[in-house]
Amino acid sequence: MEKNEISVHEVRVFIAVQSITPKWATSSEIATLANVARRTSRHHLLKLTQLGLVECADVFPGHRYRIADKADKRNGGYLRRLEFAVSVFDLK
């Protein structure tokens, strides 16, 4: 898979984060909601955080995540690609 392609796992993680926002959740909780491995969840959460779509709170004992308040302003193009992928994979 190319780096710019969006996988079904990435979309599941995105949907899971959307479903818990405005609350914060750990990568393990998101993995459970998304029905993906914890490692997969962490990988996609890191990517979505770097893209500015997800906020990360560095708290003990682990990081917590939620959709960024200004996700559309930070990276609207990728957000729209993810939303399109949700419809393509028929996940919502």
pLDDT in tens, 18-58: 999 999 999 999 999 999 999 999 999 999 999 999 999 99
Asked whether the whole model's pTM tops 0.85, one would answer yes
Q: Would you list the domain boundaries of the chain?
A: 8-87
Do 17 and 67 contact (CB within 8 A), yes or no?
yes
Structure tokens at 8: 């079904």
- pLDDT at position 92 is 75
What residues contact residue 49 under an 8 Å CB cut-off, 6+ apart? Answer: 55, 56, 65
Residue among 86, 54, 58 at smallest CA distance from 71:
54
CATH of domain 8-87: 1.10.10.10
CA dihedral 8, 70, 49, 51 (to 10 degrees): 80
